[in-house]
Amino acid sequence: MAAQGLIGRDQELRVLTGLIDQLTDSGAAVVVLGDPGIGKSSLLRTAADHGRAAGLRVLATTGIEAEAHLPFAGLHHLLRPVLGGVGRLAARQRQALSTAFGTSDGPPPEPFMIALAALNLLADAAAEHPALMVIDDVQWLDPPTQDVLTFLARRVSGDPIVLIGAVRKGHDIAFAAAGLPELDLRGLDEAFARDVLARHAVGLSYADTERILREAAGNPLALVELPLAVRAAADAGMEAPPAGPPADHTSRARLHCPDRRPAAADPGRRPDRRGGQR
C-alpha cells in the first residue's frame, strides 16, 4: 500500500502523522535516521503536507553544505515566517536574536540567550497557531543552528509544536545524540522494493531487474537510479561488471557504468527531487 504517494512507508508515516494529529497544548520532537537515498526527504515532505492539511503552520528548512560555515543561516531560514513576533520578546532575548541575525549591532550574544529567544519566539507563535517544524539534513546545518535545534527539541513538549529532524546515519552530531525519540528508516522490504523498481525498470531484462533488486537492498533511490545506469551502460556498449561488496546505495550505479557517473548518483550531492525518495 502506498501512503500519500510513498511506497512501503505506511508505518513510519503513521508515527509522524500521529504526532501531528495528537498536537494540542503539548508538543513532541523526533529524529528521523537513515542512510543516503533511503527516503528521509520524501517522508518529511509528506509529513509537512499532512501538517498543512491539518491546519498547522509549517516551518521548514534543509541543511546544505554550502551554508554550513555561516552561523545561524539555517535558524534564520527556519524562523523567517515568525520573525514578526521578535518585538514581543524580552529585551535581552530580542537583542540576542537580532544581533545573531545581523539586524542590529552589538557584542556577540550568548548562545543560551539566542536559543532561549528562539524558543520563546516559537512558543508565542504556536500559542496563536500550532506549528510543525520540519528540518531535513540536520547534519549539514551550521553548528550554531544545530545547537539551537537541539535546545528546542528538548523543550517543545511544553508548547503546541512538533519538531521533526532528519539526520543521515554516520554523522555524530548533538541533535542525533540528545536522547530524543528516533525513527530509524530502513530499506524497503522485497515486495515494496519490487513495486518501486517496476516503475523504473521497464524494458530491462529479468536478469538485470533481479540484479538491481539485490544490489539496491531496498534503498529507494538506488531502485530509481540503477535502472538508468544499466541503460546508460547498454547504450555505451559496456557490459555490467560483476557485483562488488556492499557500498553506499547512492553510489552503486557506478558499478554498472564506471566511466559514466550520473551526477544524481554521487552520494555527496542531493538527487533531483523529481526522482525517487531520498
- The domain spans of the chain are 2-184, 190-265
H-assigned helices in the chain: 10-21, 40-53, 73-79, 91-100, 111-128, 143-153, 190-198, 206-216, 220-235, 253-256
User: For residue 152, which of 163, 136, 139 has the smallest C-alpha distance?
Assistant: 163
DSSP state of 24: S
Q: pLDDT at residue 8 above 70?
A: yes
> Pairing state of beta strands 2-3 and 57-62?
unpaired
Q: Which three cell numbers stand for residue 134?
A: 520540519
Q: What are phi and psi of 195, to 5 degrees?
A: -65, -45
User: For residue 63, which of 145, 171, 118 has the smallest C-alpha distance?
Assistant: 145
How would residue 261 be classed by pLDDT, with cut points 50, 70 and 90? very low
Q: Which three cell numbers stand for residue 128?
A: 496563536
How would residue 24 be classed by pLDDT, with cut points 50, 70 and 90? confident
Helix (H) or strand (E) holding 3: strand 2-3
Q: pTM for this one?
A: 0.83
The pLDDT value given to residue 235: 73
Q: pLDDT at residue 256 above 60?
A: no
Cα 62 from Cα 27, distance rounded (Å)? 21
Residue predicted with more confidence, 260 or 101: 101
194, 42, 35, 12: CA torsion to nearest 10? -80
Please check whether the domain covering 2-184 is classified as CATH 3.40.50.980. Answer: no
Residue predicted with more confidence, 131 or 4: 131
Q: Which three cell numbers stand for residue 169?
A: 546515519
Q: Which three cell numbers stand for residue 263?
A: 551526477
User: For residue 271, which of 137, 179, 85, 161 has the smallest C-alpha distance?
Assistant: 137
